[in-house]
Amino acid sequence: MVLPNIAAHKFNLKKAQHQQQITSALFIVNRSSGAGHTRQAAKLLENRFYNQFQPGIPHCLYAVTAGHDQVRQITHEFLETFPGPWLLLSGGGSGTNRAQIQAIMDNIERGSVQPDDIYITALRLGSGNIIARHLNLPADPMLALARIADSLPKGNTLPCCLYRCVCHDSHGQSQTYYGATLAGIGQFSQVPQDVAHWRQRHPQLMTQLLNHIPIETINNWQYTTFSLLRALKCLLRPQRADDVMIEQDGRLTSLRLFAGMLINFDFPPLPFQTGCLINQPRLKLCLIPQTSRRQMLAALAHWHSLDNYILTYTLTPERPIAIHFVSDSQTTLALDEDIFVVPTHIRFEVAPSIHFVTGGG
């Protein structure tokens, strides 16, 4: 894909102490995210982006994509083509944000980009906008762009811990993925697909709901509902739970796994609290084991607060964790709402942090 031509204007952007001057800015809107975005809405975002950022940043580029693969490809080409430091904005949900992070981290791992030269942020244009909400960015995209333009020269940024997921197959090959919010394994890895299938089967009902309820609220309800349905299915058929082996610090633990989440930071819809903060190089792996029907019934009865029903593991840069699914050759992995079918040997690691531009406050 060839990047479109851009207009460039020279201007010295005022910057706070320790804040680098941004040389190149990319804004990608994923048209398919959330409830979808019209061409007219995308054009309004394009005009606002150039009006807000082009006077102070020499190289500005706006792009509209139809999916996460294009988001990753355009981000990669942008970083290879234009000089840094870079500002990267994503207009979509958690999956769009993850696709941009994947391209960033691929370039960092190759050594073509340094983490300190990257500034990233996101608009709340998807169904799951966890980081954007956490960083106090408003739901209105026009207001959010103005807030980002105001925050950037003031140095309102926060280092965000990322996770790395390396999947190994039996032939010694591996695939590496990155994310920023959470990773799901076991039955929880199926929930994003359940939500997507429901929306595809009930487009008119989804449209009616969107006329009255914010999409982020609908998303939370649907994730909760389908997670509970998955738990009920495992209650009726315990063999749905996976046999897994957990390895950390040379210790092996075998268990039957209902669901697991790798958490970067706590946010309201989670039914448990880990104490993780987004700016710490620390992750938590939270596992819900399935030991008996009685235990699963107790967990279902307390689904809104599962702190007493989970096993937790702390990950730091020096303490990764490996998970092996014993009885299968492939498993499903959910990374920030993206679904992947991967080999059954998975290693989670703390990846380098990158700077997120906040909404201030």
How crowded is residue 111: how many other Cβ atoms within 10 Å of its Cβ?
7
Interior angle at CA 250, CA 245 and CA 254, nearest 5: 20
* DSSP state for residue 76 in the 8-state scheme: H
pLDDT value for 35:
57
Task: Show Cβ contacts of residue 127 under 8 Å, excluding neighbours closer than 6 positions.
Answer: 33, 34, 35, 93, 215, 216, 218, 219
Q: Which amino acid is at 306?
A: L
Distance CA 234, CA 187 (A): 9
What is residue 168's three-state secondary structure?
strand
pLDDT computed for residue 15 by the predictor: 37
Low-confidence ranges of the chain (pLDDT < 50): 1-18
Superfamily covering domain 24-161: Probable inorganic polyphosphate/atp-NAD kinase; domain 1 (3.40.50.10330)
Question: How many whole angstroms separate alpha carbon 317 and alpha carbon 309?
Answer: 26
pLDDT attached to residue 361: 63
CA 273/CA 45 separation, integer angstroms:
36
Query: Any idea what DSSP says for residue 245?
Result: E
> Cβ-count burial of 247 within 10 angstroms (0-12 exposed, 13-18 middle, 19+ buried)?
middle
What interhelical angle do 94-110 and 68-81 show, nearest 10? 40
- Does domain 163-351 fall under CATH 3.30.428.10? My reply is no
What tokens appear for 127 in the block? Answer: 């169904």
User: Rg (Cα) of the chain, in Å, rounded?
Assistant: 21
For the record, the structure tokens of 182 come out as 């959470």
What pLDDT digit, counting tens, does each position of 305-319 carry?
888 889 999 999 999
pLDDT at 12: 34
Question: What CA–CA distance (Å, rounded) separates 137 from 121?
Answer: 9
- Are the folds of 24-161 and 163-351 the same? no
How much is the pLDDT for 13? 34
Encoded tokens for 240: 């749905």
Q: Are strands 24-30 and 86-92 parallel, antiparallel or unpaired?
A: parallel
Domain boundaries, the chain: 24-161, 163-351
Give the predicted TM-score (pTM) of the model: 0.88
156 CB-side CA count, 13 A: 16
- 260, 286 contact by CB (below 8 A): yes
Quote the DSSP letter at residue 8: B
Query: Alpha-carbon torsion 141, 146, 149, 150, what sign?
Result: negative
